[in-house]
Amino acid sequence: MGHASVIDLTFKNPAANGGNVIKKNYIDTSIGTLSDHHMIILQIGDPGHTVLNPTSNCLNWKHADEEEFKWMLKEILEDNRGEHNQIVSEFLNSGKQHAMPDELDRATEYIQQLLENMASKAVPRHRICSKSKPWWTPELTKAYTDLQEAQSHMHRWMRHFHTPSMLLEDQAQLLRKITLKLVRKMKNEYYRKMVDEATSQNIWTY
C-alpha cells in the first residue's frame, strides 16, 4: 500500500472464519504511525458486543519464559523443516515481489499454526481454582462492561471519522478511574472481612 515496504496481514483462525465474525476489514492509510506498516481496521462481532480474548482465558503469558519459547520455536521448525523450507523458498523471502491471494493464505495459515503450536507447548496454562478473584462482584462486572462499551464507542468514532473525540476519551478515562477505584474498594472490603472473621481454628484455611 502506497510507499510501504511491508505487507500488512490479518490472521484469522478457522473458528473465526467459519463464524464470519470479522467484518469491515480494510487498511486505513490516513492514520499515521511510526512504522512502515499501515493501520489495519476491522470489526469483530456486532457493534457494542464485548469480545473476550480467548488466549487470556487459558494461557498464562505473564509466566512465559522467553528462552523456552525460542527453544520451542527451533524444535518445531526442525520437526517441520520440509514444509518450512518450501514456504520460505516459495513465498517468505526478499526475492518474492508478488504473490497470489491463495499463496498468502497458505503462508499466513502456516505461520498461525506455528504460533499456536508454540504457545500450547511453551506457555504455561492458567490454574483456575475456586478462589480466583473471590472479591469479584456483579457491581464490578457492570463497571467493566460500561468501561468496555465506552472504549468501543470511542474506537468506532475514531474508525469512522479518523479524528479523536475528546468527549468520548474523557468519558472512557472517567469510567476507567471509577472501575479501578471500585476494584480497590471490593478487594479491601473482602480482605477486611477475612481478617475480622479469622480465628485460631480457621486462619490456616485462607
pLDDT in tens, 64-79: 888 888 888 888 888 8
Selected residue with higher pLDDT from 155 and 182: 182
Under the banding of pLDDT at 50, 70 and 90, the label for residue 185 is: very high
Among residues 27, 22, 29, which one has the least CA distance to residue 40?
27
For the chain, the structural domain boundaries read: 1-47, 59-122, 138-205
The whole-angstrom distance between residue 69's C-alpha and the CA centroid of its chain comes to 18
Report pLDDT digits (tens) over 90-99.
877 778 777 7
Ramachandran area for residue 131 (φ above 0: left; ψ -120 to 50: alpha; else beta)? alpha
Q: CA 144 to CA 122: how far, in whole Å?
A: 31
Mean pLDDT of 79-94: 83
Mean pLDDT of the chain: 77
Q: Which cell is 163 given?
A: 479524528
DSSP 8-state symbol, 205 = G
